[in-house]
A = this chain, B = another copy of it.
Amino acid sequence: MAIDPSADRPVYKQLADLIRARIEGGELRPGQRLPAESDYVAEFGISRDSVRRAMAMLRGEGLIVTELRGSRVREAGEAATVEIAPGTQVTARMPTEPERRQIGVAEGVPVLVITDPSGETRLLAADRTIVKAGDEG
């Protein structure tokens, strides 16, 4: 699998596809370190800009996390189950950056917005929470 700069699909998306396939195919396992940006630059002869765009894309999809020392495949992590009463509403959205820091959630992770029948809302990190509908409060 290689990258074709003359293809219709942008270089950075091709690289993201390639890495995504390696993650979903199990070639890159949860917790495993990804090659450095410079490795991809050297391997495919593309610019660092393109590599960084690809990484940003995968980060946005929640597939990888990036720290100063490199990126790694996100680990699923055990999610706690929260039971909710009938009439409770649930939706999700991306947190703003201040919220993200406050809740202590990584980039690329949505928050669950849980509104109970009284109108009170809770914000929970979607990667640490599974909401289960119960038959009573």
A-to-B contact residues, CB < 8 Å: 13, 16-17, 20, 56-57, 60-63, 79, 81, 84-97, 107-112, 126-127, 129-136
Q: Is the CB of A133 within 8 A of B87?
A: yes
Q: How far is the CA of A80 from the CA of B110 in the complex (A)?
A: 19
A112 / chain B contacts, CB cutoff of 8 Å:
90-92
Q: Is the CB of B93 within 8 A of A110?
A: yes
Q: Is the CB of B60 within 8 A of A60?
A: yes
Q: How far is the CA of A23 from the CA of B55 in the complex (A)?
A: 28
Q: Is the CB of B92 within 8 A of A126?
A: yes
Q: How far is the CA of A50 from the CA of B5 in the complex (A)?
A: 26
Q: Is the CB of B89 within 8 A of A81?
A: yes
